[in-house]
Structure 1
Amino acid sequence: MKKIIAILLLLTGGAEAQFQQPWLIDARHIQVENLLWDLNELSKAPQSRWLDDTSTVRSLLYKSVDFEGKPTEVFAYYSNPDMIAGRPATKQKFPGLVLIHGGGGKAFREWVEKWANEGYAAIAMDLSGNGADGQKVERPGPEQSAENKFQKIEKGDLRNVWTYHAVASSILAHSLLLSFPEIDPLRTGVTGISWGGYLTCLVASLDSRFIAAAPVYGCGFYDESDVFKQNLNALSPAAKARWMKYFDPSAYLPYSRPSMFFINGNKDKHYNVGPYIKTYELSKNKQVCIIPDMPHSHKDGWAPAEIRTFFDGALNGNPHPFVTVSAVSLDKNQLTAILKPVAGKQLSSVEFYYTNDITSDNEHRVWQHSPATIHEDSQTVIHPIPKEGYKYAFFYLKDTDGISGTTVFLKDGRVD
């Protein structure tokens, strides 16, 4: 009998190997000096209380880390497919998502509602110390000011910088989510927009319990951003170095374990192509999706169907993969993109985008594009290298369902 039990444990234990009950973060692989966050403590479900426990989208407060020596609490919305449908709780286990807003954002009720309607349990918290009505909660953490995000590091205590609190509160939201009986702990993900995408890179790197992560716009290497490098350059050299060491995603992404889906536009104002490439190259398990001229906002950030397609594949195992490219080769001044065969999927269009504009900032960079040729075997796509070459380029593919897939950014192509 003992042998049978041992065999069963071996057979069932593999899927949970990265977890320790009660779903503790495994930080042994994060090889950084003086890890700032206490991941054992953040693994524990925080104290919480419902403000509304009857609506289809419910609200709550949960305890987070201290700010300037004082306790804090975070406001959040939560729903799941049972709640959003207005039915009694079933015994079904749902995949869970943590939703992280960006700069000037809040806990978006409609974002939670969107994901609950799509079959996910979702929690969205406010990372500026505000509640549902925009008023401060009784025990607020730091608000999203440039002082709290950047200048505060000059005062020495890293745990008073906004990013420390935002990361901690996001991980605690995950721990709270995992404590709900309707959540499948082996199917949780995180997505965030803009500054929330930046936080997603950090949170997904630190919290090994996530299976999948989709940072939208946000990336690392803030010291190379067209916008944020100005805030960093205003710091003393020592403070700037501390910020990059402790709060830039580039310090942690090499240790990320979830499947990562990086989605951005090619002309984003805040997260430009150069540091974006360097960011996703740090991730070992990734997909990249570049949406031409993608607008920058919260609603534009959660709108792409590709994000749901990614999570449906990563968390639900749905057979709706992207049309993706396995390799790009150059021969006789022609680029050939080799497609991964996908049963039942067909390309409807392919465009080749490229730019040689190295003088404009990213938002105003001039791009050209033209149709690429889908080979008759439907397994390859070809396009000649422009006579002037290119600084950056990518293939943009759409399948017959309207779901887009892309190559990563291609760099420094030229005609021989």
Structure 2
Amino acid sequence: MKPLLFVLLLGLTAGFAQKKTVPRIDASVVKVDSLLWDLNALSKAPAVEWLSQTGTVRPLLYKGVDYEGKPTQVFAYYSNPDLIRGKPASKRTFPGVVLIHGGGGKAFREWVEKWAADGYAAIAMDLAGKDATGKPLAQAGPNQGDVDKFSKLEKADLRDMWTYQAVSAAILAHSLLLSFPEVDATKTAVTGISWGGYLTCLVASLDNRFKAAAPVYGCAFYDESDIFKVPIEKLSAGSHRRWMKYFDPSVYLPFAKPQFLFVNGNKDRFYNVVPYHKTYSLIAPNQRTICLIPNMAHGHEAGWVPHEIRYFFESILNGNVPLVQVGPITVQDSTLRFSYQSPVSLLNAEFHYSADTTSLNEQRNWSKQKAMIDPITQTATSPMPKEGFKYGFFYLKDHRNVSVSSPFLIK
């Protein structure tokens, strides 16, 4: 972009993108022995170049971290409730959300539209070094292939790995969002899908300025995934250890401060039952809500459709009615029982279970049975399946059609 045009665009953005004091990440909370990311530097709003000042969603470039010794830029889309309605910038402030795509994804304009229409200032960045047309940027970081995610570790600097670059880009997007006057810096959240869910676990653990996080599908313990353990096991022993030490969310989640909503299906190909259960178990029960959706499809659209994410963010950021809270499950007289707390009465409850221990996660056979709800005592019960089970969970819906679940029961 020519310098004069760049200056003009910066001037034109002054109506809704003036910078303000940006809160800093408290890096002292992340008590790992060697923290790879410079969280103080990432707390600063990056330089931004607005590519257009028209339309309801605005494309932009912002400065990323260096890659292989060279500067980078990251492409992103931004919108907010004023822009999406085609209205002049108002004096209102909005909660903010950072949107992190998954493998094969991009900066999804329609994802930004969705959240702006729902009342949020939203930013979605591309994590493959590409622009809106899918072409590599002149100052691009790594692409999102398996080499940059895994095998490159055998000879590359840790800071040239895709995970380091992607986490940095997402935190910088948050810092940029926090610099906008229309964004309420006390009300920001992050959600990501698949690999973006994995990144959400990392980003929300490192960046304690977020108040809420909703990783979809993605989790920790990558060397236990049916799929991702394959490229990890191909690494040398030393690289395997380094990957898990620096890039697996299990290292960082114990220090996470936001409230979490974990969203997944029970038959996901990439993020299977056992590592998923271990992942959310790293977060204290009073800091997490779980939403296991039976037979949930895997994909970007499927990952941003669940309205539970918006209801959850609204409850944390704006003090709206919370999702159902599920208590511990007990077994008594061959009956599974749990208590729950909900200001909205339950519509239904089911117990989903499987005794299939030989199939891959996506091919496992599941059954279900109705659970009985006692709205007076706010308890629910279901008989122990006669055939027994290895994996099980309760799935609940309230009268808003908002669902949550119990954690997995693994016997």
Task: Please confirm whether the aligned pair reaches a TM-score higher than 0.5, indicating the same fold.
Answer: yes
Alignment of 1:84-233 (within 5 A): 84-233=84-233
Residues 95 and 187 in structure 2, CA contact (< 8 A), matched pair in contact too: yes
Partner residue of 1:331? 332
Structure 1: which amino acid aligns with 2:396? Answer: L
- Please say if residues 98 and 190 of structure 2, whose CA atoms lie closer than 8 Å, have aligned partners that are also in contact: yes
CA distance in 2, matches of 1:400, 1:26: 39
Q: CA deviation at 1:378?
A: 5.8
| Deviation of the 1:376 alpha carbon | 5.9
- Give the Cα separation in 2 of the matches to 1:381 and 1:392: 19
Matches within 5 A, 1:373-412: 373-375=372-374, 377=376, 379-412=378-411
Displacement of 1:374 in angstroms is 1.6
How far is 1:391 from its partner? 1.1
2:366 aligned residue: 367
Post-superposition shift, 1:156? Answer: 4.0
**Paired residue type of 1:332:** D
Task: Please state how far the C-alpha of 1:377 moved relative to its aligned partner.
Answer: 2.6
Match of 1:267, SS?
Answer: coil
Report the aligned-residue RMSD. 1.0
Partner Cα separation in structure 1 for residue 219 and residue 111 of structure 2:
21
1:291 aligns with one of 290, 293, 298: 293
1:317 and 1:138 map into 2 onto residues whose CA distance is 43
Aligned to 1:7: none
C-alpha deviation, 1:39, in angstroms: 0.5
Write the deviation string for residues 48-79 of structure 1: whole angstroms up to 9, x where unpaired: 11001221100000000111111100000000
Structure 1 unaligned blocks of 5 or more: 1-20
Given residue 147 of structure 2, which amino acid in structure 1 is its aligned partner? E
Partner of 2:81: 81
The CA deviation string for residues 246-289 of structure 1, in whole angstroms up to 9 with x for no partner, is: 00000100000000110000000000000000000111211111
Residue of structure 2 equivalent to 1:14 = none
- Structure 2: tracts of 5 or more residues without a match: 1-20
Deviation string, structure 1 residues 30-61 (Cα, Å, up to 9, x no partner): 11121100000000000111001221100000
Residue 304 (structure 1) aligns with:
306
- Poorly superposed stretches of 4+, deviation over 2 Å: 375-378
* Deviation string, structure 1 residues 165-191 (Cα, Å, up to 9, x no partner): 000000000000000000100000000
Please give the per-residue CA displacement for 1:273-329, whole angstroms capped at 9, x wherever unaligned: 00000000111211111000000000000000101110111111122x222322322
Q: Distance in 2 between matches of 1:359 and 1:95?
A: 45
1:256 aligns with 2:281: no
Amino-acid identity (%) = 59
Q: Aligned pairs, how many?
A: 389
2:320 aligned partner: 318
**SS of alignment partner, residue 232 of structure 1:** helix
Q: Is 1:358 aligned to 2:360, yes or no? A: no
Alpha-carbon offset, residue 137 of structure 1: 1.2
Name the amino acid aligned to 2:55.
S
TM-score by length of 2: 0.93
1-structure distance, mates of 2:328, 2:28: 33
Which range moves more in the overlay, 376-385 or 44-53?
A: 376-385
Q: Is the 8 A contact 2:73 2:137 kept in 1?
A: yes
Q: 2: distance between equivalents of 1:194 and 1:138?
A: 27
Task: Return the TM-score normalized by structure 1.
Answer: 0.92
Between the aligned partners of 2:106 and 2:298, the Cα distance in structure 1 is 16
- How far residue 358 of structure 1 moved from its aligned partner, in angstroms, is 1.0
What is the aligned partner in structure 2 of residue 27 from structure 1?
27
Determine helix, strand or coil for the equivalent of 1:390: coil
Cα distance in 1 for residues equivalent to 2:349 and 2:154: 49
